[in-house]
Every structure is written in C-alpha cells, then in structure tokens.
C-alpha cells in the first residue's frame, strides 16, 4: 500500500517535468507561439488608484518575480529556443517580465494582451485576435506573448501559474494548449 502511494506520488511529480520537456521539444523547432503568464507579482487585482501609464499605481513584480523573469530568459537561451519576437500587455509587470527575460529591444506592447474577464464579448474578441496572430505568424523563431493569467483563462479556458508558458496552436477545434513549460 505504501509502495503504491509512493509510486503514485512520484508519477504526479513527474507530470510537470514531462509536460515541460514536451514544451521545450516543440520550441526547439521554432515557428511556435507562446503565451507567457507574467512572473511573480504579489497580490491580486489592481490598486484603487490604478493608472496604466504609471507603474507606481500598479501591482508589480517582486524581487522573486524579477529573478524568475531572468531565469525564464536564461532557460530559453540554454534550451536553444530561438525567440524572434516578443509582445507584452501594457501592464508594467508584463513589460518588465518580457524585458528581463528577452531584452528591452525585442519587446513591443499590445493592448489586446491586457487582462480580460472570461466568458465576455471582449474575451471572444481577444481570442479572435490571438487566432489571427497565430495564423499570421510565419517566423522561424518563437513569438512570445507576455500576458496575464486572466487572459490565458479567457482565451484557452485553462489556468496558468505566474511565470508559466503555454505553447498554443490553432487546429480545427480552435485554440489549443499544445504544451506547458513550468519555470520553478
């Protein structure tokens, strides 16, 4: 009985590693689109005085989040995952994640990557924009879209952790999470 529980626990712990390796395998070939949830930013929601133009009024990355973002970039480089283009939502935590991971010169902002509530008309508009972006992407490297957990939930119907990457593609059934990469 105890042996069976140990085996089950070991398999459960191995699942994220397997999912992560499958994600890296896809990325090594390039031509992929990745939704990256921003790195660690404590709290939830935005402060009452929120202003999209002023980082001091937003929920921002912690020092742990900054380290996590640097580690994400280092792992992309170490795993030979060729990042070609990076788009980030307008929020400071997503821009900072993108800049620390991939370099400021590679990062552009896109308002359609800002947070969105699931199951709203706006969520469907954003999902359509993501579909169009995937269809139009012809690069040989990787397109990284740094966004928010709410956005990923709204367009894919799946939750993601801070600093988690979801390799996303489009098939006959719509948007699909092809693989995940978990950054510890």
Flag residues of the chain having pLDDT under 50: 4-18
Q: Residue 142: what are its φ and ψ, rounded to 5°?
A: -110, 135
pLDDT at 22 (0 to 100): 82
pLDDT at 123: 86
pLDDT of residue 7: 37
The pLDDT value given to residue 28? 87
Q: Three-state SS for 176?
A: strand
Q: How many helices (H) and strands (E) does the chain have?
A: 5, 6
| pLDDT the model gives residue 4 | 40
pLDDT computed for residue 106 by the predictor? 94
**Percentage, residues of the chain above pLDDT 90:** 48
Which parts of the chain are beta strand (E)? 33-37, 83-88, 107-109, 142-147, 165-171, 174-181
Report the alpha-carbon distance of residue 58 to residue 45 in Å, rounded: 9
What is the CB-side half-sphere exposure of residue 170 using CA atoms within 13 A? 14
| pTM across the whole model | 0.86
């Amino acid at each position: 009985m105890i042996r069976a529980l140990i085996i089950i626990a070991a398999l459960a712990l191995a699942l994220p590693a397997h999912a992560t390796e499958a994600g890296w395998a896809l990325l090594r070939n390039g031509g992929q689109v990745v939704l990256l949830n921003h790195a660690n930013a404590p709290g939830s929601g935005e402060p009452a005085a929120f202003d999209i133009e002023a980082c001091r009024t937003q929920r921002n990355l912690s020092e742990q989040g900054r380290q996590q973002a640097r580690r994400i970039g280092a792992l992309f480089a170490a795993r030979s995952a060729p990042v070609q283009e990076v788009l980030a939502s307008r929020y400071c935590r997503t821009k900072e994640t993108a800049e620390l991971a991939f370099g400021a010169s590679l990062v552009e902002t896109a308002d359609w990557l800002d947070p969105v509530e699931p199951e709203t008309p706006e969520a469907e508009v954003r999902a359509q924009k993501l579909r169009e972006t995937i269809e139009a992407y012809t690069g040989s490297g990787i397109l990284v879209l740094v966004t928010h957990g709410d956005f990923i939930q709204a367009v894919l119907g799946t939750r993601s952790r801070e600093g988690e990457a979801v390799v996303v593609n489009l098939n006959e059934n719509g948007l699909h999470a092809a693989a995940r990469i978990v950054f510890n």
